Copies of this chain bind each other. A is one copy, B any other.
């Protein structure tokens, strides 16, 4: 395929994704039609079907991509700071995630409880462009550099993400069982407890 056509094609796909993201953060999926997406993206309706099977596919793609972005942002913030204690680093990262979700409750309506897709949704990750950067591997590396050994670090990270995503969603969107400010310290305590109970410190 010539380069120009290829560029054009990629550009259209991105237009569709942007349009869908914008629509799906302000509306429920059942209220967003493919017509809405394509007309907002400025492409023909048929073009949608060159890239996505249906609107569920584009939604799932966006959930994975946006969850991933949130995790990556949090890690980038962590990288900027020099937090040596492992637990503190994780809590800091989760705190960054919470901040993003609180600031962007519309995005949370899209992601719902699927935050962990950002690190664990394999099928979708294969289609994400920058999939070389494996989010969950970072957790493991961090632990190793801190001299901490987890029998199954992916499992620990998964559990923390599921807890965070699920609790945040219910608290921020529904206010159950309390507003997020109230839930936040309890969540941090729980995460610290999970980390501590799963960890074995290696002899250096």
Decide yes or no whether A178 CB sits under 8 A from chain B: yes
Decide yes or no whether A190 CB sits under 8 A from chain B: yes
A186-B155, A193-B197 are contacts. A176–B120 as well, Cβ < 8 Å?
A: yes
Tell me if A167 and B177 are in contact (CB < 8 A). no
Chain A facing B: main interface SS? helix
Decide yes or no whether A30 CB sits under 8 A from chain B: yes
Tell me if A155 and B178 are in contact (CB < 8 A). yes
**A1-54 with Cβ < 8 A to chain B:** 30
Shortest beta-carbon distance, A157 to chain B, in Å? Answer: 9
Cα of A158 to Cα of B162 in the assembled complex, Å = 14
> Closest B-chain residue to A183, C-beta based?
B155
Tell me if B193 and A152 are in contact (CB < 8 A). no
Against B, the Cβ 8 Å flags (1 = close, 0 = not) of A174-204 are 0011100011001101101110111000000
Cα of A155 to Cα of B158 in the assembled complex, Å = 21
> Closest B-chain residue to A177, C-beta based?
B158
- CB within 8 A of A197: which of B120, B162, B165, B189? B189
**A140-191 with Cβ < 8 A to chain B:** 152, 154-156, 158-159, 162-163, 165-167, 170, 176-178, 182-183, 186-187, 189-190
